[in-house]
Amino acid sequence: MSRVLIPQVLRPDVGGVKAVDVDGTTIGEVVASLLERHPALGGRLLSPDGGLHRFVNVYLNGADVRYLGGLETHVDERDEVRLLPAIAGG
Amino acid sequence: MKSSSDLLRQVRAAVAEVSPQEADALRAGGAVLVDVREQVEWDAGYIPGAVHVPRSYLEQNIESHVPDRAASVVLYCASGVRSAYGAATLAQLGYTNVSSMAGGIDAWRRLGLAVVTPTALSAAQQQRYSRHLLIPEVGTAGQARLLESRVLIVGAGGLGSPAALYLAAAGVGTLGIVDFDIVEASNLQRQVLHTTGRIGEKKVESARQTIGALNPDVKVVAHDEMLVADNVERIIDGYEVILDGTDTFETRYLLNDASVAAGIPVVHASVFRFEGQLTTFLPYDGPCYRCLYPTPPPPELAPGCSVAGVLGVVPGIMGLLQANEVLKLVLGIGEPLIGRLLLFDALEGSFSELRLERDPACPACGDAARAARERGETPNLPIYSTAAPFTMERIS
């Protein structure tokens, strides 16, 4: 199980929790199992063609997965995955 | 009984003395030059790179300037007397590689060696900024640097308000403020530049009044206009650091692109309810806003404070962290948050840090965009006004 940290803006779609523990050996699998459990999140994370929105970043142990292996990036047990969308307020 | 000249002879015999030329060579080799004269003498000119520890504070303050007892240290004063006594004192404190520059800065000057003359602070400024002057990393030279600095704050709102107050208090000489809005009652829960009595007034004018009352050293340049493609280049021109306190993605991308092109660093923050994000963009040295978020979210997925609400202290805290980054950049001290995204969670009371990368294919700061600018061309960048969801890869 790896832990996915959920920012406040996405929490209404995961029942208000701060983190969700999910299975998966790649970022793609982790996101897919997260969406399986919380389908409402799909509307926030995925574009109409099924890819991740470019305004939602995914970090594996603090590093942006776009510069690792994207959705193919390997995820170990007890790794920390963080979803982070752009926020507007200023 | 010993006369003062007996004592001086005795001290001189015990400490190592170097000539100004030898001191210059030691300095080039990494030795620390310590000026032990009084403030007024330092203000009239000192040796470049020297640190200032007046003789009267030498025992108390040397450790904060030179923590390493084995470091090579050269003391100087006006003529070489006070520095000889100072060197003997440092030897007693356990410094093992200390010398005194014979003839002092007077001899140094006679040889035509370089001297820096710091901007002198008035007596009122010495009082006002005394807590800065006591910090070695700021000091008189740093305060003078702040007083001649030019910082642009885009948005006199939740982030811009606390930042403007503290940057003004710190003595940033010129504060540009961009805002086209007027003060509303609902702003006052967090926008501490403004007051109840100024509801209905222009925010830039309200900011000018507050800053003027706080610190008359600060020149406020009010840009009472919305930042748009037609004016962004003109507005940011001449500023050395920009503080992004905007609340829309359109303005944020516009500011990003123009500041990359102009080579001006941007300290960015954004907030949502109890959370904040903060980073510093230094053009080409680290990522820019487009590297971090290549496209903006549609409004329904990223509501602003007027829709989602925000705990007032969150932009307060993030705005002050932005002000901290600005001061570090202006003073050239510390480690700016370049390539690092700092997250603040007010409910948890926690900070987290994420690593950011510069995207070599970024349309604003990537290699091709940079090469185009160097050829005198303007990279063609998308202007975002609505949702334009790009996708990364398909989820299998």
Tokens found for residue B74: 């050269």
Whether residue B160 contacts residue B166, with contact meaning beta carbons closer than 8 Å, is answered with: no
Whether residue B55 contacts residue B77, with contact meaning beta carbons closer than 8 Å, is answered with: yes
Give B270 to chain A, closest Cα distance, Å: 5
φ/ψ of residue B78, rounded to 5: -80, -45
Number of domains chain A contains: 1
ipTM over 0.90: yes
Nearest-CA residue of chain A relative to B305? A89
Q: How far apart are CA A10 and CA B205, in angstroms?
A: 38
Nearest-CA residue of chain A relative to B300? A44
Look at residue B395 in the predicted model and tell me its pLDDT: 36
Q: From the list A57, A59, A71, which residue is nearest B395 (CB)?
A: A71
Tokens found for residue B132: 């800065």
Q: From the list A35, A51, A67, which residue is nearest B391 (CB)?
A: A51
Q: Which domain holds residue A33?
A: 2-85
Does the distance separating the beta carbons of A7 and B275 come in below 8 Å? yes
- N-to-C CA span, chain B: 94
In a domain, A90, yes or no: no
B378 Cβ contact partners less than 8 Å away, ≥ 6 residues apart: B261, B372
Task: Give whole-number Cα distances, B337 to B192, B325, B350, in Å.
Answer: 25, 7, 17
Q: From the list B247, B352, B354, which residue is nearest A89 (CB)?
A: B247
Look at residue B303 in the predicted model and tell me its pLDDT: 81
Encode chain B (396 residues) as per-residue pLDDT tens digits. 889 999 999 999 999 999 999 999 999 999 999 999 998 899 889 999 999 999 999 999 999 899 999 999 999 999 999 999 999 999 999 999 999 999 999 999 999 999 998 778 999 999 999 999 999 899 988 999 999 999 999 999 999 999 999 999 999 999 999 999 999 999 999 999 999 999 999 999 999 999 999 999 999 999 999 999 999 999 999 999 999 999 999 999 999 999 999 999 999 999 999 999 999 999 999 999 999 999 998 877 788 888 889 999 999 999 999 999 999 999 999 999 999 999 999 999 999 999 999 999 999 999 999 999 999 998 888 877 533 333 333 333
Whether B362 is catalytic: no
- B48 Rama sector, left if φ>0, alpha if ψ -120 to 50, beta otherwise: beta
B134 Cβ contact partners less than 8 Å away, ≥ 6 residues apart: none
B150 Cβ contact partners less than 8 Å away, ≥ 6 residues apart: B172, B173, B174, B176, B238, B239, B240
B195 Cβ contact partners less than 8 Å away, ≥ 6 residues apart: B183, B188, B206, B210
Q: How far apart are CA B181 and CA B166, in angstroms?
A: 21
Does the distance separating the beta carbons of A90 and B245 come in below 8 Å? yes
Nearest-CA residue of chain A relative to B250? A88
Whether residue B31 contacts residue B51, with contact meaning beta carbons closer than 8 Å, is answered with: no
Does the distance separating the beta carbons of B246 and A89 come in below 8 Å? no
Q: β-strands B266-272, B51-52: how paired? A: unpaired
Domains along the sequence of chain B with CATH: 4-110 (3.40.250.10), 149-374 (3.40.50.720)
Q: How far apart are CA B101 and CA B94, in angstroms?
A: 19
Whether residue A54 contacts residue B391, with contact meaning beta carbons closer than 8 Å, is answered with: yes
* CATH number for the domain harbouring residue A29: 3.10.20.30
Q: How far apart are CA B148 and CA B153, in angstroms?
A: 16
Instruction: Identify which of B32, B34, B72 has the alpha carbon closest to the alpha carbon of residue B55.
Output: B34
Does the distance separating the beta carbons of B392 and A71 come in below 8 Å? yes
Does the distance separating the beta carbons of A28 and B158 come in below 8 Å? no
Give B200 to chain A, closest Cα distance, Å: 20
Whether residue B20 contacts residue B99, with contact meaning beta carbons closer than 8 Å, is answered with: no
Q: Which of A30, A54, A59 to mutate to test binding with chain B, by most B CBs within 10 Å of its CB?
A: A54
Q: From the list B155, B295, B301, which residue is nearest A44 (CB)?
A: B301
For residue B226, count other CB atoms closer than 10 A to its CB.
13
- N-to-C CA span, chain A: 36
B209 Cβ contact partners less than 8 Å away, ≥ 6 residues apart: B198
Residues of chain A whose beta carbon is less than 8 angstroms from a beta carbon of chain B are 7-9, 28, 31-32, 35, 44, 46-57, 59, 62-64, 66-67, 70-71, 82, 84-90
- Three-state SS string across B191-204, please? CCCCCHHHCCCEHH
Amino acid at B336: P
Q: How far apart are CA B81 and CA B102, in angstroms?
A: 8
Q: From the list A44, A52, A66, which residue is nearest B395 (CB)?
A: A52
Task: Give whole-number Cα distances, B322 to B212, B248, B268, B276, in Å.
Answer: 21, 18, 7, 11
In a domain, A35, yes or no: yes
Looking at B288, B305, B362, B365, which residue is catalytic?
B305
In a domain, A28, yes or no: yes
User: Would you say residue A37 has pLDDT above 50?
Assistant: yes
Does the distance separating the beta carbons of A90 and B269 come in below 8 Å? yes
Task: Give whole-number Cα distances, A80 to A5, A21, B45, B354, in Å.
Answer: 7, 10, 55, 12
Nearest-CA residue of chain A relative to B248? A88
Give B-chain residues touching A57 at CB under 8 angstroms: 292-293
Does the distance separating the beta carbons of A55 and B301 come in below 8 Å? yes
Give A-chain residues touching B393 at CB under 8 angstroms: 28, 51-52, 70-71
Give B-chain residues touching A64 at CB under 8 angstroms: 354-357
Whether residue B116 contacts residue B88, with contact meaning beta carbons closer than 8 Å, is answered with: no
Give A-chain residues touching B275 at CB under 8 angstroms: 7-9, 87
Strand partners, B345: B275, B350
